[in-house]
Structures are given as structure tokens and as C-alpha cells.
């Protein structure tokens, strides 16, 4: 079994004045720089990124890895056309080279899901379109996503399964990659895709209300797990969305993969109904600056640890 592995991650803030260019992917700070096929596996295998989990599971299954390219840039303005085209060309070119060396059984990609590039609001959807143009519709493809992904119908249509991390703060990136690889191996073994369903939720969730350690988001994840088990979904993908990407397709989205269309539809409908009925709980509230500072000072007076103020808006 031979599996291609690659990645292209960026979270794009449409209102940020500084664009994300080629150099930001070469030297991102805090993460490895652009990895080419010769270095990808050994550089990433001991990190916490999704590719590390995918590599571990693939090797444990005895698969041969065909490395593509991988890169990450820290959140900033939209990706420049030059950077997107160069990186997409590198990844797709590496995929073509891998195919020249022999047949592939499947592809795993580590994407973010909230990348906006100049010319492409849904940059991940466009990247998947280009990958499909090379390998065709029958090739099994699974993708890990950041839960801040603006998961689109285009992404869902072009991949066999999308697997977002479950946590924010993100502490399960590697497990998400491992899960996506397990699904890829299962997809290859079964020889046919799962039924899939997709839905968008009709409101945006502020970042201040997306923490999965506390309600309401912690309760959403409990509902997600229960519905997944109830309907036998192999994956019930829930993405919080990244409102600051600010394009028509951004927002909360759900995708399900199951043995039957009825099961996939029911899982998505159940989670969408939960979100719709709990919408008011996500409104939250952000204090005006003076009030926020006063609250922090009051907390600090009785605190035994430092008090941190964060402006995520």
C-alpha cells in the first residue's frame, strides 16, 4: 500500500493589512518551514502537527509513504497569489512525481480550512480541485482540518472524509491526523466511499465563545459524540468557522460520513438542530475597554496567579 502525505496550512484574516507571502511559509516562526519530499517525514514525525499522526498510523499499517510538500504560515492577511500558486504547484508537482514512481492507493492532506488566497476565497477547495484533476475522482482522499475551518461544500465534495481537531485551544492536532489516516486506510480497504452529508449553520460564532473547555462549546462536542454514535457515523465533522476570513462561505459547518445516506443525513440534521436551538448561548459578551480593565484589576487583587487580558476581536 502506497500513500501520499502532504500539507498546506494557513488561517487568513481578511481584515489584516499585511498579506501572507512566500517568505512567511519559508520561515514561519514556531513551526518548521516549507518541507519538500526529501525532508517531510523525518522533520514532521516527532512534531504535534496532524501529519505526525498520519505518518505514525500509516507506518504502523505497513504502508509506504510517498511524501509531497508541507508548509505552514502564522495567521495574517490573505495569502498572496504568488505564494498560493507556487506552493500549490509544488504540492501538485510532487504528487505528479509520486505517480510517475508508481501507483498510489490514497492521499492524506493536512489543511487548515480557513485559508483565503488572492483570487480564491475557498483556497482549500481550490487546492483539492487541483489534486483531483491529477488523480481523478476514484482516488481515496482524507483531510485533517483545524476546527476554525470554514468548511465548504466544495471541500466536502472533493474529499472522502474531512476530520477537524476537536479542541480549542488545539491540543489534538496529531490525533486528528491519526484519525484521518485511519479513515483513509479503511476507505482503501472497503473500496468505495461512504455516504456523506453537509450543512451550514446560519450564524457565526465569535472566537471568544469557541473554547471547547467550557460551555456552550463543550456541550456541543458532547452532542456531536452522542449523535455520531447514535447514527453510526464514521466521522461527524464539526467546524466552528473563522469569521474573520469574511467571505460568503465562511461560518459554522457540519459534515457526516456513514454507511448509508440516511444515517449521514440524520447525523448532520441532529447536530444542526442542536446548534439552531442553542444559538442564543453563543452570543457571549465582550466588555468595553474600561470595564474590562476594571474587571481584570478586581480579579488580580484576589488572584494568586497572573491575570491575562486578551483581545481576540
Residue 205 CA to residue 308 CA, distance in Å, equals 22
Query: What separation in angstroms does the CA of 18 have from each of 82, 111, 217, 303?
Result: 15, 22, 31, 37
Residue 226 CA to residue 223 CA, distance in Å, equals 5
Residues 97, 39: contact at Cβ < 8 Å? Answer: no
Q: What is the pLDDT of residue 311?
A: 72
CA-CA-CA-CA dihedral for 111, 116, 121, 125, to nearest 10: -10
**Tell me: the pLDDT tens digits for 124-166?**
999 999 999 999 999 999 999 999 999 999 999 999 999 999 9
CB under 8 Å to 83, separation ≥6 — which residues? 20, 21, 22, 24, 25, 117
Location of C-alpha cell 454514535 = 229
Cis peptide, bond prior to residue 216, ω within 30 of zero: yes
Please give the average per-residue pLDDT across 215-227, as a whole number: 98
Q: What is the pLDDT of residue 29?
A: 86
Q: Give the global pTM.
A: 0.94
Q: What is the pLDDT of residue 309?
A: 86
Strands 195-200, 253-258: pairing kind: antiparallel
Q: What is the pLDDT of residue 157?
A: 99
Q: What is the pLDDT of residue 260?
A: 99
Location of C-alpha cell 488566497 = 117
pLDDT band, very low/low/confident/very high, at 54 (cuts 50, 70, 90): very high
Q: What is the pLDDT of residue 312?
A: 66
Beta bridge partners of 6: 109
**Tell me: the pLDDT tens digits for 79-137?**
999 999 999 999 999 999 999 999 999 999 999 999 999 999 999 999 999 999 999 99
Residues 264, 236: contact at Cβ < 8 Å? Answer: no
Residues 165, 173: contact at Cβ < 8 Å? Answer: yes
Residue 47 CA to residue 65 CA, distance in Å, equals 17
Amino acid at each position: 500500500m502506497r500513500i501520499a502525505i502532504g500539507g498546506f496550512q494557513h488561517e487568513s484574516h481578511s481584515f489584516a493589512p499585511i498579506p501572507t507571502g512566500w517568505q512567511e511559509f519559508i520561515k514561519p516562526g514556531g513551526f518548521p518551514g516549507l518541507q519538500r519530499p526529501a525532508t517531510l517525514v523525518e522533520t514532521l514525525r516527532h512534531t504535534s502537527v496532524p501529519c505526525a499522526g498520519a505518518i505514525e498510523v500509516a507506518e504502523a499499517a505497513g504502508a509506504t509513504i510517498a511524501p509531497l510538500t508541507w508548509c505552514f504560515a502564522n495567521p495574517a492577511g490573505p495569502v498572496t497569489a504568488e505564494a498560493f500558486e507556487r506552493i500549490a504547484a509544488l504540492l501538485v508537482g510532487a504528487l505528479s512525481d509520486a505517480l510517475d514512481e508508481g501507483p498510489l492507493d490514497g492521499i492524506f492532506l493536512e489543511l487548515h480550512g480557513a485559508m483565503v488566497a488572492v483570487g480564491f476565497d475557498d483556497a482549500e477547495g481550490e487546492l483539492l480541485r487541483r489534486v483531483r484533476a491529477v488523480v481523478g475522482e476514484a482516488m481515496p482522499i482524507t483531510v485533517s482540518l483545524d476546527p476554525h475551518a470554514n468548511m465548504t461544500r466544495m471541500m466536502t465534495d472533493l474529499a472522502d472524509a474531512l476530520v477537524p481537531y476537536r479542541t480549542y485551544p488545539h491540543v489534538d492536532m496529531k490525533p486528528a491526523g491519526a484519525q484521518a489516516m485511519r479513515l483513509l486506510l479503511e476507505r482503501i480497504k472497503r473500496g468505495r466511499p461512504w455516504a456523506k452529508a453537509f450543512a451550514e449553520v446560519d450564524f457565526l460564532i465569535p472566537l471568544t465563545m469557541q473554547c471547547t473547555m467550557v460551555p456552550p462549546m463543550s456541550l456541543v462536542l458532547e452532542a456531536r459524540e452522542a449523535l455520531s454514535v447514535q447514527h453510526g457515523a464514521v466521522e461527524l465533522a464539526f467546524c466552528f468557522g473563522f469569521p474573520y476570513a469574511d467571505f460568503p462561505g465562511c461560518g459554522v459547518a457540519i459534515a457526516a460520513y456513514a454507511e448509508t445516506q440516511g444515517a449521514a443525513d440524520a447525523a448532520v440534521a441532529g447536530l444542526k438542530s442542536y446548534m439552531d436551538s442553542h444559538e442564543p448561548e453563543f452570543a457571549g459578551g465582550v466588555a468595553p475597554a474600561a470595564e474590562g480593565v476594571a474587571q481584570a484589576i478586581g480579579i488580580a487583587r484576589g488572584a494568586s496567579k497572573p491575570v491575562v487580558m486578551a483581545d481576540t476581536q
